[in-house]
Amino acid sequence: MTHLIPPHGGELVDLIVPDERKEVLRDLSLHIPSIALSESQMCDLELLMNGAFSPLKGFLSQTDYASVLDRMRLQDGTLWPMPVCLDVTEVEASRLEAGQSVALRDPEGFMLAVMNVEEVWPVDKEAEAQAVYGTTDMAHPGVDYLFNRTGSHYVGGAVEGVNMPLHFDFKHLRLTPLEVRTLCAKLGWRRMVGFQTRNPLHRAQFEMTLRAMRETKANLLLQPVVGRTRPGDIDYYTRVRCYQAAGRHYAPNMVLLSLLPLAMRMAGPREALWHALIRKNYGCTHFIVGRDHAGPGCDGKGRPFYGPYAAQELLARHQDEIGIRIVPFEEMVYLPRQDRYVPCGDVDDDAEAKRLSGTELRSLLRSGLEIPEWFTFPEVITELRSAYPPRHRQGFTVFFTGLSGAGKSTIARVLLSRFLEMGDRPVTLLDGDIVRRHLSSELGFSKEDRDINVRRIGFVASEITKNRGIAICAPIAPYRLSRRQIRQMIEEYGGFIEVFVATSLEVCEKRDRKGIYAKARAGLIKGFTGIDDPYEPPENAEVIVDTSDLTPDEAAQEVLLELQRQGYIR
Protein backbone atom coordinates (compact mmCIF):
# COMPACT_ATOMS: atom_id res chain seq x y z
CA MET A 1 0.00 0.00 0.00
CA THR A 2 3.05 2.22 -0.07
CA HIS A 3 2.06 4.07 -3.23
CA LEU A 4 -1.22 5.26 -1.69
CA ILE A 5 -1.54 8.76 -0.31
CA PRO A 6 -0.72 8.82 3.44
CA PRO A 7 -3.66 9.53 5.76
CA HIS A 8 -4.10 13.01 7.20
CA GLY A 9 -1.59 13.40 10.02
CA GLY A 10 0.48 10.52 8.64
CA GLU A 11 -1.16 7.55 10.35
CA LEU A 12 -4.55 5.91 9.94
CA VAL A 13 -6.22 6.00 13.32
CA ASP A 14 -7.95 2.85 14.62
CA LEU A 15 -9.64 3.41 17.96
CA ILE A 16 -10.89 -0.16 18.44
CA VAL A 17 -8.95 -1.57 21.38
CA PRO A 18 -7.59 -5.16 21.68
CA ASP A 19 -9.92 -7.86 23.08
CA GLU A 20 -8.36 -7.88 26.58
CA ARG A 21 -8.91 -4.15 26.90
CA LYS A 22 -12.49 -4.54 25.66
CA GLU A 23 -13.13 -6.92 28.57
CA VAL A 24 -11.75 -4.36 31.03
CA LEU A 25 -13.91 -1.62 29.52
CA ARG A 26 -17.03 -3.80 29.61
CA ASP A 27 -16.48 -4.39 33.35
CA LEU A 28 -15.76 -0.71 33.89
CA SER A 29 -18.93 0.29 32.06
CA LEU A 30 -21.04 -1.21 34.86
CA HIS A 31 -19.76 1.47 37.22
CA ILE A 32 -19.60 4.62 35.08
CA PRO A 33 -22.26 6.95 33.64
CA SER A 34 -23.55 6.40 30.10
CA ILE A 35 -24.50 8.71 27.27
CA ALA A 36 -27.06 7.49 24.72
CA LEU A 37 -25.91 8.79 21.36
CA SER A 38 -28.08 10.40 18.70
CA GLU A 39 -27.91 9.25 15.07
CA SER A 40 -25.54 12.12 14.23
CA GLN A 41 -23.28 11.42 17.20
CA MET A 42 -23.12 7.76 16.18
CA CYS A 43 -21.95 8.88 12.74
CA ASP A 44 -19.21 11.02 14.28
CA LEU A 45 -18.16 8.20 16.59
CA GLU A 46 -18.03 5.63 13.80
CA LEU A 47 -15.81 7.84 11.65
CA LEU A 48 -13.58 8.62 14.63
CA MET A 49 -13.22 4.93 15.44
CA ASN A 50 -12.53 3.73 11.89
CA GLY A 51 -9.99 6.44 11.13
CA ALA A 52 -11.99 8.44 8.57
CA PHE A 53 -11.42 11.43 10.90
CA SER A 54 -7.66 10.74 11.28
CA PRO A 55 -5.74 12.27 13.03
CA LEU A 56 -8.51 12.77 15.64
CA LYS A 57 -8.40 10.24 18.45
CA GLY A 58 -11.54 11.39 20.19
CA PHE A 59 -13.93 14.29 20.53
CA LEU A 60 -12.19 17.68 20.40
CA SER A 61 -10.81 19.24 23.55
CA GLN A 62 -11.82 22.83 24.29
CA THR A 63 -8.52 24.26 23.05
CA ASP A 64 -8.68 22.24 19.81
CA TYR A 65 -12.30 23.31 19.41
CA ALA A 66 -11.44 27.00 19.84
CA SER A 67 -8.54 26.64 17.45
CA VAL A 68 -10.71 24.87 14.83
CA LEU A 69 -13.32 27.64 15.00
CA ASP A 70 -10.71 30.34 14.87
CA ARG A 71 -8.26 29.12 12.21
CA MET A 72 -9.50 25.74 10.91
CA ARG A 73 -6.60 24.00 12.60
CA LEU A 74 -6.05 21.83 15.66
CA GLN A 75 -3.85 23.48 18.25
CA ASP A 76 -0.81 21.55 16.92
CA GLY A 77 -1.35 23.28 13.55
CA THR A 78 -2.91 20.33 11.66
CA LEU A 79 -5.55 21.51 9.22
CA TRP A 80 -9.02 20.51 10.51
CA PRO A 81 -11.99 22.72 9.59
CA MET A 82 -14.93 21.13 11.41
CA PRO A 83 -15.65 20.84 15.12
CA VAL A 84 -16.27 17.20 16.04
CA CYS A 85 -17.62 17.50 19.56
CA LEU A 86 -19.82 15.39 21.77
CA ASP A 87 -22.77 17.48 22.87
CA VAL A 88 -24.77 16.74 26.02
CA THR A 89 -27.64 18.37 27.89
CA GLU A 90 -27.06 20.59 30.90
CA VAL A 91 -28.26 17.80 33.22
CA GLU A 92 -25.84 15.28 31.66
CA ALA A 93 -23.04 17.85 31.82
CA SER A 94 -23.63 18.37 35.54
CA ARG A 95 -23.05 14.64 36.11
CA LEU A 96 -19.72 14.59 34.27
CA GLU A 97 -16.33 15.81 35.34
CA ALA A 98 -12.79 15.80 34.01
CA GLY A 99 -10.85 12.61 34.71
CA GLN A 100 -13.91 10.43 34.68
CA SER A 101 -14.86 7.77 32.09
CA VAL A 102 -18.21 7.60 30.38
CA ALA A 103 -19.75 4.81 28.29
CA LEU A 104 -21.04 5.83 24.86
CA ARG A 105 -24.03 3.72 23.86
CA ASP A 106 -26.36 3.43 20.89
CA PRO A 107 -30.08 4.20 21.46
CA GLU A 108 -30.70 0.54 22.42
CA GLY A 109 -28.03 0.70 25.14
CA PHE A 110 -25.37 -1.30 23.24
CA MET A 111 -21.94 -0.03 24.33
CA LEU A 112 -19.83 1.32 21.49
CA ALA A 113 -16.98 3.05 23.26
CA VAL A 114 -15.62 4.52 26.45
CA MET A 115 -14.61 8.15 26.52
CA ASN A 116 -12.11 9.54 28.96
CA VAL A 117 -13.58 12.90 29.83
CA GLU A 118 -10.96 15.63 29.65
CA GLU A 119 -13.21 18.69 29.66
CA VAL A 120 -16.85 19.73 29.81
CA TRP A 121 -17.78 23.23 28.71
CA PRO A 122 -20.86 25.25 27.77
CA VAL A 123 -21.28 25.88 24.03
CA ASP A 124 -21.32 29.43 22.71
CA LYS A 125 -23.66 28.60 19.84
CA GLU A 126 -23.62 32.12 18.37
CA ALA A 127 -19.84 32.05 18.12
CA GLU A 128 -19.79 28.53 16.65
CA ALA A 129 -22.48 29.38 14.09
CA GLN A 130 -20.62 32.50 12.97
CA ALA A 131 -17.26 30.72 12.75
CA VAL A 132 -18.39 27.50 11.05
CA TYR A 133 -21.37 28.66 8.99
CA GLY A 134 -20.74 32.41 8.70
CA THR A 135 -24.32 33.07 9.80
CA THR A 136 -26.83 32.61 12.62
CA ASP A 137 -29.77 32.40 10.21
CA MET A 138 -31.98 29.45 11.19
CA ALA A 139 -32.79 28.83 7.53
CA HIS A 140 -29.31 27.26 7.41
CA PRO A 141 -29.80 23.57 8.30
CA GLY A 142 -26.48 23.42 10.16
CA VAL A 143 -27.37 26.48 12.26
CA ASP A 144 -30.85 25.11 12.87
CA TYR A 145 -29.35 21.82 14.06
CA LEU A 146 -26.86 23.60 16.30
CA PHE A 147 -29.45 25.83 17.98
CA ASN A 148 -32.37 23.41 18.12
CA ARG A 149 -30.93 19.92 18.36
CA THR A 150 -27.44 20.24 19.82
CA GLY A 151 -27.05 20.03 23.61
CA SER A 152 -25.89 23.00 25.68
CA HIS A 153 -22.46 21.56 26.60
CA TYR A 154 -19.60 19.80 24.87
CA VAL A 155 -17.50 16.99 26.31
CA GLY A 156 -14.00 16.49 25.01
CA GLY A 157 -11.77 13.48 25.39
CA ALA A 158 -10.04 10.47 23.88
CA VAL A 159 -12.17 7.50 22.84
CA GLU A 160 -11.49 3.80 23.25
CA GLY A 161 -13.61 1.85 20.77
CA VAL A 162 -15.31 -1.38 21.83
CA ASN A 163 -17.81 -2.07 19.02
CA MET A 164 -18.61 -0.36 15.74
CA PRO A 165 -22.22 0.84 15.46
CA LEU A 166 -24.44 -1.93 14.14
CA HIS A 167 -25.70 -1.67 10.57
CA PHE A 168 -27.95 -4.24 9.00
CA ASP A 169 -28.38 -2.58 5.62
CA PHE A 170 -26.00 -2.62 2.64
CA LYS A 171 -23.29 -4.24 4.77
CA HIS A 172 -21.09 -5.11 1.80
CA LEU A 173 -20.97 -1.42 0.83
CA ARG A 174 -19.94 -0.11 4.25
CA LEU A 175 -16.16 -0.07 3.93
CA THR A 176 -13.72 1.42 6.42
CA PRO A 177 -10.77 3.55 5.21
CA LEU A 178 -8.50 0.55 5.79
CA GLU A 179 -10.79 -1.73 3.77
CA VAL A 180 -10.92 0.78 0.89
CA ARG A 181 -7.14 1.16 0.96
CA THR A 182 -6.61 -2.61 1.05
CA LEU A 183 -9.02 -3.16 -1.84
CA CYS A 184 -7.45 -0.35 -3.80
CA ALA A 185 -4.02 -1.95 -3.42
CA LYS A 186 -5.39 -5.34 -4.40
CA LEU A 187 -6.98 -3.89 -7.53
CA GLY A 188 -3.72 -2.16 -8.38
CA TRP A 189 -5.28 1.30 -8.36
CA ARG A 190 -2.60 3.94 -8.04
CA ARG A 191 -4.85 6.96 -8.24
CA MET A 192 -8.37 7.30 -6.94
CA VAL A 193 -10.68 10.26 -7.33
CA GLY A 194 -13.36 10.67 -4.67
CA PHE A 195 -16.89 11.79 -5.44
CA GLN A 196 -19.06 12.88 -2.55
CA THR A 197 -22.81 13.02 -3.05
CA ARG A 198 -26.13 13.23 -1.20
CA ASN A 199 -28.21 13.01 -4.38
CA PRO A 200 -28.88 10.13 -6.76
CA LEU A 201 -26.37 9.78 -9.57
CA HIS A 202 -27.84 11.34 -12.71
CA ARG A 203 -26.38 11.85 -16.15
CA ALA A 204 -24.72 15.19 -15.22
CA GLN A 205 -22.88 13.67 -12.26
CA PHE A 206 -22.04 10.57 -14.28
CA GLU A 207 -20.47 12.70 -17.00
CA MET A 208 -18.61 14.73 -14.39
CA THR A 209 -17.12 11.60 -12.79
CA LEU A 210 -16.10 10.23 -16.22
CA ARG A 211 -14.37 13.48 -17.09
CA ALA A 212 -12.66 13.54 -13.68
CA MET A 213 -11.37 9.99 -14.21
CA ARG A 214 -10.10 10.90 -17.69
CA GLU A 215 -8.41 14.08 -16.48
CA THR A 216 -6.69 12.47 -13.52
CA LYS A 217 -6.17 8.98 -14.96
CA ALA A 218 -7.73 7.65 -11.80
CA ASN A 219 -10.38 5.19 -10.69
CA LEU A 220 -13.47 6.45 -8.93
CA LEU A 221 -14.45 6.14 -5.28
CA LEU A 222 -18.18 6.84 -5.43
CA GLN A 223 -18.89 7.70 -1.84
CA PRO A 224 -22.42 8.82 -1.07
CA VAL A 225 -23.35 10.06 2.37
CA VAL A 226 -25.75 7.82 4.28
CA GLY A 227 -25.71 9.73 7.56
CA ARG A 228 -27.42 13.06 8.16
CA THR A 229 -27.86 15.04 4.95
CA ARG A 230 -29.95 18.08 4.05
CA PRO A 231 -33.54 17.92 5.31
CA GLY A 232 -35.86 16.90 2.45
CA ASP A 233 -33.19 14.84 0.65
CA ILE A 234 -34.13 11.56 -1.00
CA ASP A 235 -33.76 8.74 1.56
CA TYR A 236 -30.53 6.81 1.28
CA TYR A 237 -32.10 3.39 0.62
CA THR A 238 -33.55 4.77 -2.59
CA ARG A 239 -30.32 6.56 -3.42
CA VAL A 240 -28.18 3.47 -2.91
CA ARG A 241 -30.44 1.50 -5.25
CA CYS A 242 -29.98 4.34 -7.76
CA TYR A 243 -26.15 4.25 -7.40
CA GLN A 244 -26.19 0.51 -7.93
CA ALA A 245 -28.37 0.94 -11.04
CA ALA A 246 -26.43 3.88 -12.49
CA GLY A 247 -23.13 2.21 -11.57
CA ARG A 248 -23.74 -0.35 -14.32
CA HIS A 249 -23.07 2.41 -16.86
CA TYR A 250 -19.40 2.54 -15.87
CA ALA A 251 -16.94 0.12 -17.44
CA PRO A 252 -16.09 -2.88 -15.22
CA ASN A 253 -13.58 -2.34 -12.39
CA MET A 254 -13.61 1.41 -12.83
CA VAL A 255 -15.56 2.35 -9.73
CA LEU A 256 -15.81 1.43 -6.09
CA LEU A 257 -19.08 2.22 -4.34
CA SER A 258 -18.67 2.81 -0.60
CA LEU A 259 -21.19 4.35 1.79
CA LEU A 260 -20.08 7.09 4.15
CA PRO A 261 -21.93 7.36 7.48
CA LEU A 262 -21.19 11.07 7.81
CA ALA A 263 -23.35 13.59 9.66
CA MET A 264 -23.14 16.48 7.20
CA ARG A 265 -23.22 20.03 8.57
CA MET A 266 -23.91 21.65 5.19
CA ALA A 267 -21.16 24.17 5.94
CA GLY A 268 -20.22 24.86 2.28
CA PRO A 269 -16.49 25.68 1.91
CA ARG A 270 -15.39 24.46 5.36
CA GLU A 271 -17.36 21.29 4.83
CA ALA A 272 -15.80 20.72 1.40
CA LEU A 273 -12.34 20.94 2.92
CA TRP A 274 -13.41 18.44 5.60
CA HIS A 275 -14.79 16.10 2.91
CA ALA A 276 -11.45 16.23 1.10
CA LEU A 277 -9.54 15.31 4.29
CA ILE A 278 -11.91 12.41 4.93
CA ARG A 279 -11.43 11.15 1.35
CA LYS A 280 -7.69 11.45 1.76
CA ASN A 281 -8.03 9.09 4.73
CA TYR A 282 -9.89 6.66 2.47
CA GLY A 283 -6.91 6.78 0.09
CA CYS A 284 -8.16 9.24 -2.55
CA THR A 285 -5.46 11.09 -4.42
CA HIS A 286 -8.02 13.42 -6.02
CA PHE A 287 -11.36 14.86 -4.99
CA ILE A 288 -14.16 16.27 -7.13
CA VAL A 289 -15.61 19.60 -6.03
CA GLY A 290 -18.55 20.78 -8.06
CA ARG A 291 -20.66 23.89 -7.93
CA ASP A 292 -22.02 24.79 -4.47
CA HIS A 293 -20.42 21.80 -2.73
CA ALA A 294 -22.27 20.92 0.52
CA GLY A 295 -24.47 23.95 -0.07
CA PRO A 296 -27.22 24.58 2.49
CA GLY A 297 -29.63 26.32 0.10
CA CYS A 298 -30.73 29.92 0.52
CA ASP A 299 -31.16 32.23 3.49
CA GLY A 300 -34.43 33.75 4.68
CA LYS A 301 -34.20 36.35 1.90
CA GLY A 302 -33.66 33.81 -0.88
CA ARG A 303 -29.90 34.49 -1.22
CA PRO A 304 -27.41 31.58 -1.27
CA PHE A 305 -25.34 31.33 1.92
CA TYR A 306 -22.08 30.79 0.02
CA GLY A 307 -20.79 31.67 -3.42
CA PRO A 308 -21.20 28.82 -5.92
CA TYR A 309 -17.46 28.31 -6.24
CA ALA A 310 -16.35 29.37 -2.71
CA ALA A 311 -15.67 25.72 -1.78
CA GLN A 312 -13.38 25.26 -4.78
CA GLU A 313 -11.47 28.43 -3.91
CA LEU A 314 -10.91 27.37 -0.30
CA LEU A 315 -9.74 23.91 -1.34
CA ALA A 316 -7.46 25.27 -4.02
CA ARG A 317 -5.70 27.34 -1.33
CA HIS A 318 -5.10 24.27 0.85
CA GLN A 319 -4.54 21.44 -1.59
CA ASP A 320 -0.76 21.61 -1.57
CA GLU A 321 -0.72 21.33 2.19
CA ILE A 322 -3.18 18.42 2.24
CA GLY A 323 -1.67 16.54 -0.66
CA ILE A 324 -5.00 15.57 -2.24
CA ARG A 325 -5.61 17.33 -5.59
CA ILE A 326 -8.97 18.89 -6.18
CA VAL A 327 -10.79 18.40 -9.46
CA PRO A 328 -13.01 21.44 -9.80
CA PHE A 329 -16.13 21.37 -11.95
CA GLU A 330 -18.51 23.99 -13.12
CA GLU A 331 -22.18 23.17 -13.24
CA MET A 332 -22.84 20.52 -15.90
CA VAL A 333 -25.67 21.35 -18.29
CA TYR A 334 -27.44 19.39 -20.99
CA LEU A 335 -27.36 20.37 -24.65
CA PRO A 336 -30.39 18.77 -26.33
CA ARG A 337 -29.19 19.18 -29.89
CA GLN A 338 -25.93 17.36 -29.15
CA ASP A 339 -27.50 15.05 -26.56
CA ARG A 340 -24.61 15.52 -24.16
CA TYR A 341 -23.57 17.16 -20.94
CA VAL A 342 -20.91 19.86 -20.82
CA PRO A 343 -19.62 22.34 -18.21
CA CYS A 344 -21.73 25.50 -18.41
CA GLY A 345 -18.63 27.56 -19.22
CA ASP A 346 -18.28 25.63 -22.51
CA VAL A 347 -21.75 26.66 -23.71
CA ASP A 348 -21.99 29.50 -26.26
CA ASP A 349 -25.69 30.06 -25.96
CA ASP A 350 -26.95 29.51 -22.40
CA ALA A 351 -30.56 29.62 -23.58
CA GLU A 352 -29.95 26.26 -25.23
CA ALA A 353 -28.73 24.58 -22.03
CA LYS A 354 -31.06 22.53 -19.84
CA ARG A 355 -30.66 21.94 -16.14
CA LEU A 356 -32.76 20.55 -13.32
CA SER A 357 -31.82 21.16 -9.70
CA GLY A 358 -32.16 18.59 -6.92
CA THR A 359 -34.98 20.68 -5.45
CA GLU A 360 -36.82 20.72 -8.78
CA LEU A 361 -36.40 16.97 -9.12
CA ARG A 362 -37.80 16.37 -5.64
CA SER A 363 -40.77 18.57 -6.42
CA LEU A 364 -41.42 16.62 -9.68
CA LEU A 365 -41.20 13.38 -7.73
CA ARG A 366 -43.50 14.52 -4.94
CA SER A 367 -46.14 15.77 -7.35
CA GLY A 368 -45.88 12.59 -9.46
CA LEU A 369 -44.88 14.48 -12.62
CA GLU A 370 -42.76 13.09 -15.46
CA ILE A 371 -38.93 13.13 -14.96
CA PRO A 372 -37.34 14.17 -18.26
CA GLU A 373 -35.37 11.40 -19.96
CA TRP A 374 -32.41 13.66 -20.70
CA PHE A 375 -31.95 14.16 -16.99
CA THR A 376 -31.16 10.66 -15.77
CA PHE A 377 -30.91 6.96 -16.63
CA PRO A 378 -34.07 4.89 -17.20
CA GLU A 379 -33.05 2.54 -14.34
CA VAL A 380 -32.77 5.52 -12.00
CA ILE A 381 -36.20 6.78 -13.06
CA THR A 382 -37.60 3.33 -12.27
CA GLU A 383 -36.02 3.35 -8.80
CA LEU A 384 -37.17 6.89 -8.06
CA ARG A 385 -40.64 6.16 -9.33
CA SER A 386 -41.01 3.11 -7.15
CA ALA A 387 -39.96 5.19 -4.12
CA TYR A 388 -42.04 8.20 -5.21
CA PRO A 389 -45.11 6.89 -7.02
CA PRO A 390 -47.46 9.32 -8.77
CA ARG A 391 -50.04 10.88 -6.51
CA HIS A 392 -52.81 8.50 -7.48
CA ARG A 393 -50.69 5.71 -5.96
CA GLN A 394 -49.46 7.62 -2.91
CA GLY A 395 -51.13 7.35 0.47
CA PHE A 396 -53.10 10.19 2.01
CA THR A 397 -55.02 11.18 5.09
CA VAL A 398 -58.37 12.90 5.16
CA PHE A 399 -58.51 14.66 8.51
CA PHE A 400 -61.92 15.89 9.64
CA THR A 401 -62.13 18.42 12.44
CA GLY A 402 -65.14 20.18 13.93
CA LEU A 403 -67.45 20.27 16.91
CA SER A 404 -69.14 17.23 18.39
CA GLY A 405 -72.23 16.48 16.34
CA ALA A 406 -71.02 18.55 13.37
CA GLY A 407 -71.33 15.54 11.05
CA LYS A 408 -67.69 14.40 10.86
CA SER A 409 -68.37 10.71 11.47
CA THR A 410 -71.22 10.47 8.99
CA ILE A 411 -69.30 12.12 6.16
CA ALA A 412 -66.30 9.97 7.08
CA ARG A 413 -68.43 6.84 6.72
CA VAL A 414 -69.70 7.95 3.31
CA LEU A 415 -66.11 8.54 2.21
CA LEU A 416 -65.03 5.16 3.56
CA SER A 417 -67.65 3.51 1.35
CA ARG A 418 -66.54 5.49 -1.71
CA PHE A 419 -62.90 4.48 -1.23
CA LEU A 420 -63.88 0.85 -0.66
CA GLU A 421 -65.91 0.99 -3.88
CA MET A 422 -62.85 2.30 -5.73
CA GLY A 423 -60.81 -0.51 -4.17
CA ASP A 424 -57.34 0.64 -5.26
CA ARG A 425 -55.89 1.29 -1.79
CA PRO A 426 -56.44 -0.08 1.72
CA VAL A 427 -58.59 2.26 3.84
CA THR A 428 -58.80 2.73 7.61
CA LEU A 429 -61.35 4.84 9.42
CA LEU A 430 -60.04 6.34 12.66
CA ASP A 431 -63.24 7.82 14.00
CA GLY A 432 -63.13 9.75 17.29
CA ASP A 433 -65.16 7.16 19.17
CA ILE A 434 -63.28 4.17 17.74
CA VAL A 435 -59.94 5.72 18.66
CA ARG A 436 -61.07 6.58 22.15
CA ARG A 437 -62.13 2.94 22.63
CA HIS A 438 -59.07 1.21 21.11
CA LEU A 439 -56.16 3.61 21.34
CA SER A 440 -56.93 6.18 24.01
CA SER A 441 -59.28 4.51 26.50
CA GLU A 442 -57.34 5.90 29.48
CA LEU A 443 -57.50 9.52 28.29
CA GLY A 444 -59.95 12.23 29.28
CA PHE A 445 -60.67 15.63 27.72
CA SER A 446 -58.07 17.93 29.31
CA LYS A 447 -55.93 19.86 26.82
CA GLU A 448 -53.00 17.50 27.43
CA ASP A 449 -55.14 14.39 26.96
CA ARG A 450 -56.76 15.72 23.80
CA ASP A 451 -53.30 16.53 22.40
CA ILE A 452 -52.05 13.03 23.17
CA ASN A 453 -55.18 11.54 21.61
CA VAL A 454 -54.82 13.59 18.44
CA ARG A 455 -51.09 12.85 18.19
CA ARG A 456 -51.79 9.12 18.43
CA ILE A 457 -54.30 9.43 15.62
CA GLY A 458 -51.71 11.37 13.63
CA PHE A 459 -49.07 8.71 14.22
CA VAL A 460 -51.31 5.87 13.07
CA ALA A 461 -52.48 7.92 10.07
CA SER A 462 -48.89 8.75 9.13
CA GLU A 463 -47.97 5.04 9.20
CA ILE A 464 -50.97 4.24 6.99
CA THR A 465 -50.07 7.10 4.63
CA LYS A 466 -46.43 5.99 4.52
CA ASN A 467 -47.55 2.53 3.46
CA ARG A 468 -49.66 4.08 0.69
CA GLY A 469 -53.05 3.51 2.25
CA ILE A 470 -55.88 5.91 3.02
CA ALA A 471 -56.53 7.07 6.59
CA ILE A 472 -59.77 8.85 7.41
CA CYS A 473 -59.63 10.55 10.81
CA ALA A 474 -62.58 12.20 12.49
CA PRO A 475 -61.76 13.55 15.95
CA ILE A 476 -62.81 16.99 17.22
CA ALA A 477 -59.09 17.92 17.31
CA PRO A 478 -59.82 21.36 18.71
CA TYR A 479 -56.25 22.73 18.77
CA ARG A 480 -54.52 24.30 15.80
CA LEU A 481 -51.00 23.46 16.93
CA SER A 482 -51.56 19.73 17.25
CA ARG A 483 -53.34 19.67 13.89
CA ARG A 484 -50.36 21.47 12.34
CA GLN A 485 -47.91 18.97 13.86
CA ILE A 486 -49.90 16.07 12.43
CA ARG A 487 -49.99 17.72 9.03
CA GLN A 488 -46.19 18.03 9.05
CA MET A 489 -45.78 14.41 10.09
CA ILE A 490 -48.10 13.09 7.38
CA GLU A 491 -47.01 15.37 4.54
CA GLU A 492 -43.59 13.73 4.73
CA TYR A 493 -45.19 10.60 3.30
CA GLY A 494 -48.20 11.64 1.25
CA GLY A 495 -51.26 13.85 1.13
CA PHE A 496 -52.97 15.60 4.03
CA ILE A 497 -56.44 16.95 3.36
CA GLU A 498 -57.89 18.84 6.29
CA VAL A 499 -61.68 19.03 6.19
CA PHE A 500 -63.26 21.58 8.48
CA VAL A 501 -66.82 20.53 9.25
CA ALA A 502 -67.94 24.04 10.09
CA THR A 503 -71.46 23.27 11.25
CA SER A 504 -72.26 25.92 13.88
CA LEU A 505 -72.53 25.25 17.60
CA GLU A 506 -76.16 26.31 17.42
CA VAL A 507 -77.02 23.62 14.85
CA CYS A 508 -74.92 20.94 16.62
CA GLU A 509 -76.61 21.75 19.91
CA LYS A 510 -80.09 21.73 18.36
CA ARG A 511 -79.40 18.26 16.86
CA ASP A 512 -77.83 16.89 20.06
CA ARG A 513 -78.28 13.29 18.92
CA LYS A 514 -76.38 11.90 21.92
CA GLY A 515 -77.99 14.30 24.40
CA ILE A 516 -74.47 15.28 25.33
CA TYR A 517 -74.87 19.07 24.84
CA ALA A 518 -77.83 19.01 27.24
CA LYS A 519 -75.61 17.32 29.81
CA ALA A 520 -72.82 19.83 29.20
CA ARG A 521 -75.25 22.76 29.62
CA ALA A 522 -76.53 21.18 32.79
CA GLY A 523 -72.92 21.06 34.05
CA LEU A 524 -72.92 17.26 34.15
CA ILE A 525 -69.98 17.17 31.70
CA LYS A 526 -67.19 19.66 32.29
CA GLY A 527 -64.85 21.08 29.64
CA PHE A 528 -67.11 20.30 26.70
CA THR A 529 -65.84 21.63 23.36
CA GLY A 530 -67.77 24.69 22.28
CA ILE A 531 -69.54 25.05 25.62
CA ASP A 532 -66.83 25.56 28.22
CA ASP A 533 -63.78 24.44 26.26
CA PRO A 534 -62.24 26.11 23.21
CA TYR A 535 -62.38 25.10 19.54
CA GLU A 536 -59.82 26.81 17.29
CA PRO A 537 -61.15 26.77 13.71
CA PRO A 538 -58.62 25.83 10.99
CA GLU A 539 -57.14 28.68 8.99
CA ASN A 540 -56.00 26.73 5.94
CA ALA A 541 -58.30 23.74 5.63
CA GLU A 542 -58.36 22.25 2.12
CA VAL A 543 -62.13 21.75 2.33
CA ILE A 544 -64.80 23.50 4.42
CA VAL A 545 -68.27 21.97 4.62
CA ASP A 546 -71.29 22.88 6.71
CA THR A 547 -73.82 20.10 7.19
CA SER A 548 -76.63 22.53 7.96
CA ASP A 549 -77.04 23.00 4.23
CA LEU A 550 -75.27 19.94 2.75
CA THR A 551 -76.21 16.25 2.92
CA PRO A 552 -73.40 13.85 3.97
CA ASP A 553 -73.17 12.64 0.35
CA GLU A 554 -72.76 16.19 -0.92
CA ALA A 555 -70.12 16.94 1.72
CA ALA A 556 -68.24 13.73 0.84
CA GLN A 557 -68.43 14.72 -2.82
CA GLU A 558 -66.63 18.01 -2.03
CA VAL A 559 -63.82 16.08 -0.41
CA LEU A 560 -63.58 13.69 -3.38
CA LEU A 561 -63.44 16.62 -5.79
CA GLU A 562 -60.55 18.14 -3.84
CA LEU A 563 -58.71 14.80 -3.82
CA GLN A 564 -59.22 14.55 -7.55
CA ARG A 565 -58.02 18.13 -8.08
CA GLN A 566 -54.83 17.30 -6.18
CA GLY A 567 -54.36 14.07 -8.14
CA TYR A 568 -54.75 11.61 -5.27
CA ILE A 569 -57.71 9.92 -6.96
CA ARG A 570 -58.51 9.62 -10.64
Outline where DSSP puts E strands in 84-162: 86-88, 101-105, 111-122, 153-161
Distance CA 413, CA 282 (A): 59
Find residue 495's DSSP bridge partners.
396
Cβ proximity of 294 and 22 under 8 Å:
no
Which element (helix H / strand E) includes 401?
Answer: strand 396-402
Closer residue to ligand PPS, CB minimum distance, 23 or 539: 539
Closest approach of ligand PPS to the CB of residue 520, in Å: 7
219 annotated active-site: no
Which of the residues 174, 198, 241, 265 is marked catalytic? 198
Give the interface segment with ligand PPS, choosing from 18-26, 368-376, 378-386, 447-455 (CB under 6 A): 447-455
Q: Does residue 516 bind ligand PPS (CB under 6 A)? A: yes
333 CB-near residues (< 8 Å, 6+ apart): 204, 341, 342, 343, 344, 347, 353, 354, 355
552 part of the interface to ligand PPS, by CB under 6 A:
no
Range 390-429, binding ligand PPS (CB under 6 A): 404-405, 409
Q: Is 229 in the site for ligand PPS (CB under 6 A)?
A: no
Q: Applying CB under 6 A, does 305 fall inside the site for ligand PPS?
A: no
360: contact with ligand PPS by CB under 6 A: no
Per-residue contact flags (x/-) with ligand PPS for residues 308 to 337, judged by CB under 6 A: ------------------------------
Pick one of 407, 432, 458, 538: the residue that binds ligand PPS (CB under 6 A): 432
Asked if 476 and 432 touch (Cβ cutoff 8 Å), the reply is yes
Residue with smallest beta-carbon separation from ligand PPS: 432
Please report how close the Cβ of residue 484 comes to ligand PPS at its closest, in angstroms: 15
Which part of the chain contacts ligand PPS (CB under 6 A), choosing from 67-75, 389-397, 432-440, 486-494?
A: 432-440
Question: Least distance in Å: CB of 405 to ligand PPS?
Answer: 5
Q: Report the 10 Å Cβ neighbour count for 160.
A: 21
Q: Which is nearer to ligand PPS, 290 or 405 (CB)?
A: 405
Q: How far apart are CA 412 and CA 7, in angstroms?
A: 63
* Residue 285 interacts with ligand PPS (CB under 6 A): yes or no: no
Active-site residue flag, 397? no
- Considering only residues 224, 269, 407, 475, which one is a binding residue for ligand PPS as defined by CB under 6 A? 475
C-alpha–C-alpha distance, residues 322 and 280, integer Å: 8
Residue 197 known to be catalytic:
yes
What is the DSSP code string of 421-475? HH-SS-EEEEEHHHHHHHT-TT--SSHHHHHHHHHHHHHHHHHHHHTT-EEEEE-
Binding ligand PPS (rule: CB under 6 A), the pick from 37, 472, 476, 555 is: 476
Spatial separation of the C-alpha atoms in residues 470 and 449, rounded to whole Å: 25
Which residue's CB is nearer to ligand PPS, number 331 or number 533? 533
Tell me the C-alpha distance between 395 and 425, whole Å.
Answer: 8
Nearer to ligand PPS, 470 or 501 (CB): 501
User: Which residues lie across from 354 on neighbouring strands?
Assistant: 334
| Whether the bond into 55 is cis, omega within 30 of 0 | yes
Quote the DSSP letter at residue 30: T
Q: Segment contacting ligand PPS (CB under 6 A): 234-242, 266-274, 333-341, 475-483?
A: 475-483
444 vs 460: CA distance, rounded Å: 19
Judged by CB under 6 A, the number of residues near ligand PPS is: 21
Using the rule CB under 6 A, give the single segment among 188-196, 354-362, 415-423, 430-438 that binds ligand PPS.
Answer: 430-438
Instruction: State the catalytic residue, choosing from 50, 150, 197, 281.
Output: 197
Positions in the binding site for ligand PPS (CB under 6 A) = 404-405, 409, 432-433, 436, 445, 450, 453-454, 475-478, 514, 516, 525, 527-529, 533
Report, as residue numbers or ranges, the catalytic residues.
197-199
